Amino acid sequence: MDTSESYRVKLEAFQGPLDLLLFLIKKKKIDIHDIPISSITKDYLNYLDQKEKINLEREAEFLLIAALLIYIKSQMLLPRETVPEDDIEDPRNILVDRLLDYQKIKAAGSLLREKENEALQKWQRTFLPPRDTEEELELTEISLFDLAEAFFTLMKKKERDNMRAIKGQEVTHEEKMKEMLDYLEKNSSLDFIEYFNQQETIAEAFVSFFCLLELIKARIVVAIQESLFHTIKVWLRKESPS
Partner 1 sequence: MTVDLKNILETLIFISIEPLPLEKIRNILTDFSTEDIQKSLMELVQDHAQKNRGIQIVQVAGGYMFSTKIEYDPWIRQLLRVDRKNRLSTAAMETLSTVAYHQPITLAEISAFRGLDSSHSLKTLLQKRLVKIIGRKKSPGKPLIYRTSNRFLSYFGLESLKDLPSQEEISKILEENQGAE
Contact residues for partner 1, defined by CB under 8 A: 15-19, 26, 29, 61, 64-65, 98, 101-113, 115-128, 174, 178, 181, 185, 188, 218-220, 239, 241-242
Pick 38 or 126: Cβ nearer partner 1: 126
N-term to C-term CA, the chain: 28
User: Smallest gap, in angstroms, from Cβ of residue 200 to partner 1?
Assistant: 22
Pick 66 or 203: Cβ nearer partner 1: 66
Cite the DSSP H helix spans in 161-232: 173-187, 192-198, 202-217
Which amino acid is located at 69 in the chain? Answer: L
User: Smallest gap, in angstroms, from Cβ of residue 43 to partner 1?
Assistant: 17
Give the strand pairing for 140-141 and 221-225.
antiparallel
Pick 19 or 191: Cβ nearer partner 1: 19
User: Smallest gap, in angstroms, from Cβ of residue 32 to partner 1?
Assistant: 9
Give the strand pairing for 189-191 and 221-225.
unpaired
User: Smallest gap, in angstroms, from Cβ of residue 239 to partner 1?
Assistant: 7
Return the percent helix, strand and coil in the chain, to nearest 5: 55, 5, 35
Cite the DSSP H helix spans in 78-201: 93-120, 144-160, 173-187, 192-198
Sheet holding 232-236, edge to edge: 140-141, 221-225, 232-236, 189-191
Radius of gyration of the chain (CA): 28
User: Smallest gap, in angstroms, from Cβ of residue 103 to partner 1?
Assistant: 6
Pick 172 or 198: Cβ nearer partner 1: 172
Pick 87 or 185: Cβ nearer partner 1: 185
User: Smallest gap, in angstroms, from Cβ of residue 119 to partner 1?
Assistant: 4
Pick 106 or 158: Cβ nearer partner 1: 106
Pick 154 or 224: Cβ nearer partner 1: 224
User: Smallest gap, in angstroms, from Cβ of residue 63 to partner 1?
Assistant: 11
Sign of CA dihedral 167, 170, 173, 175: negative
Burial of 163 (0-12, 13-18, 19+ CB in 10 A): middle
